[in-house]
Chain A
Amino acid sequence: MGTMPEDGTRTADGELDPAPNGSLPPTSVDDAVRDAEERRWTPAKIATWVAIALLGGVAWFMLAIVRGETVNAIWFVFASVCTYLIGYRFYSKVIERYLLKPDDRRATPAEYKADGKDYVRTDRNVLFGHHFAAIAGAGPLVGPVIAAQMGYLPGTIWIILGVVLAGAVQDYLVMFFSMRRGGRSLGQMAREELGVIGGTAALVATLLIMVIIVAILALVVVNALGESPWGVFSVGMTIPIALFMGVYLRYLRPGKVMEVSIIGFVLLMAAIIGGGAVAGTEWGAAFFHLDKVTIAWGLIVYGFIAAILPVWLLLAPRDYLSTFMKIGVIAMLAVAIIVVRPEITVPAFSEFAGRENGPVFSGALFPFLFVTIACGALSGFHALISSGTTPKLIEKERQSRFIGYGGMLMESFVAIMALVAAISIDRGIYFAMNAPAALTGGTVETAAQWVNGLGLAGVNITPDVLAQTASNVGEESIVSRSGGAPTLAVGLAHIMQQFIGGTGMMAFWYHFAIMFEALFILTAVDAGTRVARFMLQDSIGNFAPKFKEASWRPGAWLCTAIMVGAWGAVLLMGVTDPLGGINTLFPLFGIANQLLAAIALAVCMAIAAKRGSFRYLWIVAVPLAFTAVVTITASIQKIFSSVPAVGYFANNAAFSKALADGKTSFGTAKTTAAMEAVVRNTMIQGWLSVIFVVLSIIVIVTAVLATVKAFRNTAAGVPNVNNEDRPHPSRVYAPAGLIPTPAERELMAEWNKLPAEMRVERAGHH
């Protein structure tokens, strides 16, 4: 084999040689052996899967058919986990076997581009956690809470089935295709596969979508912190804590990441506890009592400064803190729900499921439920994470199923737990918290009266209950705390106090929940602003090359200012919106996120078609068609609906007419200035919807054209352009999933017998 080229070693049939170097064991389990193993159904294996299917079936039966007076939260856990297991074991295997066809004899970018820094082979279980921490944030904690307006069942079905058939598929596909391309980003892949028009539309759409997503995440934080001295103090303290951690890691003890994270965590707990004490004092309550507009401006200024400061000072340390909290919080939530098993009294379908004027978010169940819950079911934003960072760390091709598909299932489980936490609280409290102040009137008396007037079955709330709940969680008021985060925090506090600490600890748990949600969101805001700034610099750089230099300060600052200005404007619009920002803006967030998913799936479809996988193209085409229909329908309703609560332009026309008629108050807007604000906001929101949907349609159409062209080429025998990196033979081996199969163990044993100097350095010594 001495004359063979160093890489691209191939056998006569064009396949990579399983053992590129005669002295090494095979780098892949033999296909026939794996096949036989997968198809061998032992009685124990059959019994296990029958048990999983039965348990899942019973759980779904309890949730969807029985629907007694109350339903126990544990059925949500069983229904979701059993469905995930079945989806993972069977459906993702179908995708692997027939559509993606990974080949462990091919080296991954982490192997053939290894540099010890960006391209590093990472133990699959570690990378699973790492990838999960990168994709999961506040999104799955917020969307399901808002969607609970329609009852628990629509959201539950969409989260669980959506992830198995769409969300996890998107993440897996994007990750695999990016891995085959040396870790290229979604934008670069779109450009390569769809050409200049499709690629440019995808880029501009991505940029705009990021602005909307960052703005609405920021709006969630503002709503959670407005008029909450305790929250403002403890979340504000995360900034000096992160700065301290940054300096510690840079100058005092470089590289001691765990140590500094634990110190940071302890300080964070102190900030939460201290927040209660500070908010209890007269000066503290006065000083940290900020209205929403002030907080929004604070966040905008902060966002700009954070994005131009060096990464080591603020972003990197806060990212460590956020990751640390994320894993801990999610484990805690799962344990608490399993131990406490709250009884849920929310109906499967609420009175608002059949209407389109719900107080929490407006619009009918189809399509708006499917955009309200984005993260947890199908999140386009993940495509930006699944391409780029994670593919550069994967050790073996077959591991992409566990990390990409499995990681997204995990996020979906987080969404289910958030839903359970939110619906474990009284429905009356839920609606009092999530309806805009324009409806509830803002006081406990008016809110109770309004909620009781909704005519919801079994709901009869007194002002005392609202006041008592607020005082239990250490807040002045919980009325009209929309945005999802405060509701989840109340739900979490409600569950956790039954587990640890009793009512006396509710205020701590509430602010603990607000703290981690704010932490996740601030990290996403910072990182989002930076990524968007680079995308903008890169795009302007095509006309003014100077902008491409990342180190050129004026360019960087200008582009940061543009991006912060863009999301800041949307944020302020949401904060000051007389209609209640979340109610009108949250659908825009979901539409933006799902349109990004449509773009990602469209790119994946074009790639799959060019690989000639036409028989199994439905795996991509079905979720693409679904999300395209959902988002385009939602956009069209937002643009053309004549119902003012739904259509931006209809609302605009109604308020314009009222102004022209000389009215000084209309609907929920009590002043002329407020009416003018509605006219302005609805116009901007309307045009944003138009731009999004047009750009996305361009991308989808170019992808369909690329698919058709690939089909014609294949029929005519013309080879399609293949943008994958050249194959390199692998020289390492690692199993594909969490638990190695017998054949994988055998092969691992063979590798372990090799003398150390014969092995390429192993990833992660576990």
Chain B
Amino acid sequence: MSAAPGPAGVLHPVAGAFRGFARYMQGVMGADAYRKYLEHHAAAGHGTPPLDERAFWRDRTDRQDSNPQGRCC
């Protein structure tokens, strides 16, 4: 987690912390799912091209239709 490079030296740690927090929230909310899918796809070495971003998210919510996840009280 490196601080964001910025011209204002004072902002460095604050901006860095903010970016870290934003990235953390993205992870918690699942906003980084597509990036992870691409990483997996590249690492697994499939011969086929990966889904594009639109198709990936479409597929993700459509699979939830038939595979619901519980939410607690």
Q: Which residues of A contact B (CB under 8 A)?
A: 114-118, 120, 122-123, 125-126, 129-130, 133-139, 213, 217, 249-250, 254-258, 261, 310-312, 315-316, 319-320, 322-324, 327, 375, 379, 381-382, 384-385, 388-389, 521, 523-524, 526-528, 530-531, 534, 550-551, 593, 760-761, 763-764, 766
Smallest CB-CB separation from A138: which chain B residue? B73
Is B11 among interface residues, defined by CB-CB distance under 8 A? Answer: no
In the assembly, what is the distance between CA of A388 and CA of B70, in Å? Answer: 9
- Is there an interface contact between A255 and B71, defined as CB atoms closer than 8 Å? no
Q: How far is the CA of A217 from the CA of B26 in the complex (A)?
A: 29
In the bound assembly, the distance between CA atoms of A650 and B6 in angstroms comes to: 73
The residues of A that contact B25 with a CB separation of less than 8 Å are: 129, 258, 324, 327
**Cα separation A530 to B58 with both chains bound (whole Å):** 19
Q: Is the CB of A126 within 8 A of B73?
A: no
Can you list 5 A-B contacts with CB-CB less than 8 angstroms, sorted by A residue number? A250-B61, A316-B64, A322-B71, A381-B70, A593-B73
Contact A129 B70 (CB under 8 A): no
Instruction: Given A255-B34, A323-B28, answer yes or no on A524-B71 (Cβ-Cβ < 8 Å).
Output: yes
Question: Quick check: B71 and A527 within 8 Å, CB to CB?
Answer: yes
Give the chain A neighbours of B53 by CB distance below 8 A. 254-255
Asked if A527 meets B29 with Cβ closer than 8 Å, knowing A255-B57, A310-B65, the reply is: no
| CB pair B29 A261 closer than 8 Å | yes
Q: Which residues of B contact A320 (CB under 8 A)?
A: 29
Find chain A residues with CB under 8 A from B27 CB. Answer: 122-123, 126, 129-130, 764
Q: Does more than half of chain B's interface fall in helix, strand or loop, or is it mixed?
A: helix
Residues on the B chain within 8 Å of A135, using CB: 72
Give the complex CA separation of A311 and B66 in angstroms: 9
Collect the chain B residues with CB atoms within 8 Å of residue A764's CB: 27, 32
Q: Flag if B61 contacts A116 (CB, 8 Å).
A: no
Check if A133 sits within 8 Å of B73, measured CB to CB: no
Minimum CB–CB distance from B24 to chain A (whole Å) comes to 6
Chain B contacts to A: CB under 8 angstroms: 1, 20, 22-34, 36-44, 53-54, 56-66, 68-73
Contacts of A322 in B (CB 8 A): 71
Are A761 and B28 within 8 A (Cβ)? no
The secondary structure that dominates the A interface is helix
- CB pair A375–B73 under 8 Å, yes or no, is yes
CB-based contact A115/B40 at 8 Å: yes
In the complex formed, the residue of A with least CB distance to B56 is: A255
List A contacts of B41 (CB < 8 A).
116
Question: Are A133 and B61 within 8 A (Cβ)?
Answer: no
Are the CB atoms of B58 and A311 closer together than 8 Å? no
- Set A130, A254, A375: member contacting B30, Cβ < 8 A: A130
- Nearest Cβ in chain B — how far from A450, in angstroms? 31
Q: Which residues of B lie under 8 Å from residue A327 when comparing CB positions?
A: 25, 28
Flag if B61 contacts A316 (CB, 8 Å): yes
Give the Cβ gap from A246 to chain B, nearest Cβ, in Å. 9
Chain B hits for A319, CB < 8 A: 71
- Residues from chain A with Cβ under 8 Å of B61 in the complex: 250, 310-312, 316
- CB contacts (< 8 Å) of A527 on chain B: these are 68-71
User: In the complex the two chains form, is B73's CB within 8 Å of A137's CB?
Assistant: yes
Decide: A254 and B72 in contact? CB cutoff 8 A.
no
- Chain B residues positioned under 8 Å from A139 (CB to CB): 72-73
Contacts of A114 in B (CB 8 A): 40, 44
Question: Which residues of A sit under 8 angstroms from B43, Cβ to Cβ?
Answer: 760-761
CA distance A398 to B10 in the complex (A): 39
Min CB distance, A238 to chain B, in Å? 15
Alpha-carbon distance A397/B43, docked complex (angstroms): 22
Contacts of A389 in B (CB 8 A): 69-70
Q: A384, B39: Cβ atoms under 8 Å?
A: no
Name A530's contact: one of B30, B32, B54, B68 (CB within 8 Å).
Answer: B68
Contact B36–A523 (Cβ < 8 Å): no
Q: A117 with B71: in contact, given A126-B28, A133-B28, A324-B29 (CB under 8 Å)?
A: no
The smallest C-beta distance from B20 to any residue of chain A, in angstroms, reads: 8
B65 touches A531 (CB 8 A): no
Best-surrounded residue of A323, A530, A531 (most CB of chain B within 10 A): A530
Residue of B nearest to A128 (CB): B28
Contact A258 B22 (CB under 8 A): yes
Please, which residues of chain A bring their CB within 8 A of the CB of B34?
255
User: Given contacts A254-B58, A258-B25, A327-B28, is CB(A136)–CB(B72) below 8 Å?
Assistant: yes
Query: Complex formed: what's the CA distance from A147 to B63 in Å?
Result: 40
A36 to B23, CA, bound (A): 35
Check B40 against A375 for contact (C-beta < 8 Å): no
Least CB distance, A500 to chain B, in whole angstroms: 21
Q: Using Cβ atoms and an 8 Å threshold, which residues of chain A touch B57?
A: 249-250, 254-255
Q: Is the CB of B71 within 8 A of A134?
A: yes
Given contacts A117-B59, A120-B36, A375-B73, 7 further A-B contacts (CB under 8 A): A114-B40, A129-B24, A261-B29, A311-B65, A379-B73, A524-B71, A524-B73
Query: In the bound complex, do residue B64 and residue A311 qualify as a contact, i.e. CB atoms below 8 Å apart?
Result: yes
Shortest Cβ gap from B40 to chain A (Å): 3
Bound-complex Cα distance A316 to B24 (A):
19
A708 vs B54: C-alpha distance when bound (angstroms): 54
